[in-house]
Amino acid sequence: MLLALDIGNTHIVMGLFEGKALKAVWRIRTQKDFTADELAIKIKNLCELNSYKMDFIQDIAVACVVPPLMKAVLNLSERYFHAQPLVVGPGIKTGLSIHYDSPKEVGADRIANAVAAYEKYRCSLIIVDFGTAITFEYVTAKGEYKGGIIVPGIQIAAEALFIHASKLPHVEMFIKPPQVINRNTISAMNAGLIYGYAALTEGLLKRIKQEIPEHPLVIATGGFASLIASEVKEIDKVEEHLVLEGLRILYEKNKNG
């Protein structure tokens, strides 16, 4: 089995694949000081919760935007899985032509998203990933990755309000109010965050479409996609586990060197 690890700033999302079938998805909080042994314990326990054994895992594919964790992941792969992991980065086969001023600056998760979406749809695409940061990627119908946009995510915005506005509370859970105008602070903040980011997303998508010659399919993914996407008319599809699928595809493209 293949273990796909999407290591983000807020969460580590893990996907367990048997062939092309995604059998389990787990999400844990990112801790930059995780050791290989701590990661192994978490993976073992999660596997057992889903009636799998950690010994079933033979290969690992990694997209990591938290450099301090890479040493732990490499140690984990060697010590517990006796495998050399596929790490998304410069030099791997993607099937895309990367048109970026400095290709090595493109986040591994952004590449994995683009690879998965293009592999599935083979058309002009905009991928919006609602994670710690919200990223927009544009891929042409010819498979050219043209870059995109990076915006602070909804959780960052909520934390900034709590930290910098003394009387505003911490929003523990994002709940969509039935209306935009609200008469209590938590609902007002939720409305601002959810409908505000929906408006931001819709506005940026319209601006992107004005700059490009194609009529792209717009795909949403990431932890907050289901919360925001239903309020954005420009979004055509939601693909919840796009980055994990991208890691599987990248592994298959590169497993024979």
Which stretches within 50-184 are classed as H helix? 70-76, 108-121, 154-164
The verdict on 7 and 82 lying in the same domain is yes
The verdict on 29 and 127 lying in the same domain is no
> What is the set of active-site residues?
109
Q: How does the average pLDDT of the chain come out, rounded? A: 95
What is the average per-residue pLDDT within 154-165? 93
Handedness of CA 151, 152, 153, 154 (dihedral sign): negative
Q: Which of 57, 87, 117 is the last residue of a domain?
A: 87
Cβ atoms 104, 90 nearer than 8 A: yes
The verdict on 143 and 214 lying in the same domain is yes
| Number of domains the chain is built from | 2
The verdict on 201 and 240 lying in the same domain is yes
- Residue 95 gets the label, from left (phi > 0), alpha (psi -120 to 50) or beta, of left
Q: Which of 87, 108, 124 is the last residue of a domain?
A: 87
Q: Measure Cα distances from 27 to 74, 115, 230 in Å.
A: 19, 22, 23
The verdict on 176 and 197 lying in the same domain is yes
Residue 172 has pLDDT above 90, yes or no: no
The confidence score (pLDDT) of residue 255 equals 86
% of the chain beyond a pLDDT of 70: 100
With respect to residue 82, please indicate whether it lies within any of the assigned structural domains. Answer: yes
In three-state secondary structure terms, 95 is: coil
With respect to residue 169, please indicate whether it lies within any of the assigned structural domains. Answer: yes
The confidence score (pLDDT) of residue 36 equals 96
With respect to residue 44, please indicate whether it lies within any of the assigned structural domains. Answer: yes
pLDDT (tens digit per residue) in 177-235: 999 999 999 999 999 999 999 999 999 999 999 999 999 999 999 989 999 999 999 99
With respect to residue 252, please indicate whether it lies within any of the assigned structural domains. Answer: no
Q: Which domain holds residue 124?
A: 97-246
| 168 φ/ψ angles, rounded to the nearest 5 degrees | -90, 135
Q: Which of 58, 87, 116 is the last residue of a domain?
A: 87
Ranges of beta strands (E only) in 65-193 are 86-87, 97-98, 125-130, 133-139, 144-152
The confidence score (pLDDT) of residue 158 equals 93
DSSP, res 66: -
The confidence score (pLDDT) of residue 257 equals 58
With respect to residue 92, please indicate whether it lies within any of the assigned structural domains. Answer: no
Residue 35 maps to which CATH number?
A: 3.30.420.40
With respect to residue 225, please indicate whether it lies within any of the assigned structural domains. Answer: yes
What is the average per-residue pLDDT within 57-85? 95
The verdict on 19 and 122 lying in the same domain is no
Measure the CA–CA gap between 126 and 139, rounded to whole angstroms: 6
What is the average per-residue pLDDT within 8-17? 95
Measure the CA–CA gap between 135 and 153, rounded to whole angstroms: 9
* Reported confidence tier of residue 173, pLDDT bands at 50, 70, 90: confident
The verdict on 130 and 240 lying in the same domain is yes
With respect to residue 251, please indicate whether it lies within any of the assigned structural domains. Answer: no
Residue with tokens 């060197």: 257
With respect to residue 76, please indicate whether it lies within any of the assigned structural domains. Answer: yes
